[in-house]
Structure 1
Amino acid sequence: MGRLFETFRLRMWVFLARLLPGSLVYWLPQPRPFEPRAIDQAAARREIEAIVGVLAPDATDEATGHVMDRLIDVWTEAWVAELAVDFQRHGLRNARTAMIAAALAAREAVLNTDARRRHDELTMAHQAALNALISPND
């Protein structure tokens, strides 16, 4: 929902900027801090306890601490991999925001240069008309 709404707002402001050329109307999405996905440790602990609960009594693996080590290591690696993917997605979203900001800044620079040029031309035309009115004999 948030990404769709952000895209809609950006398109709306781009439409307004095109509708009103030369205006400073635009909305710049703000970069968000990275928020890692929460890990349900209680559910993982319950699952490990359930697996340990079905081990055969008096078996070789019973009462040794490393029976579940590999399973826990695999789960941990999966969580870290998911975290890395989430972080990459976050980086892509922020890179997109930075590219939009750079494009808007470049657009603003072009609009300012154009407005400054038009102002200078109008000032020169005004000065020429004023000179023609003051000294018509020249």
Structure 2
Amino acid sequence: MCPLGIPDAYACTSSLVLKQREHLEIGILKKSQLVEISTTRRSPRIRLQVPVFLRADDVSGAEFIELTKTLNISSTGACITSVHILRPEQIVHLTIPAPATASSSLVPSETPPITARVLRQESAGHMRLFGLEFLSPIE
């Protein structure tokens, strides 16, 4: 029996490792991108600017489409910029623009929309930063 009172040694080892990592945040430099790992996140974030079309309704109810970008992204969410005001828990749609190609059947003309929920927002001058959670994780 391990010191935590767990009869299985593997479970004890796993518990100790998890306990040691409880407050751990690691920054790893990988291919010029900062990968952030935190125990409060379900998946690591990568600081990566990807152009996206944001489609949503603003606070007045008017639908808009804005070309914006991600600041960081993971398989379960992203942080994006926008000049519009979005509401907490609001559902938005992101589409990654496809590159212009010479009629290649290998590259799709557009990507399917990614549906996300607004979790948080922060102001940065005239821009707003929004933390989004993807409703279906990206694989």
TM range (shorter): under 0.3
Greater share of residues in helix: 1
Bigger relative CO (Cα 8 Å, ≥ 6 apart): 1
**Rg comparison, structure with higher value:** 1
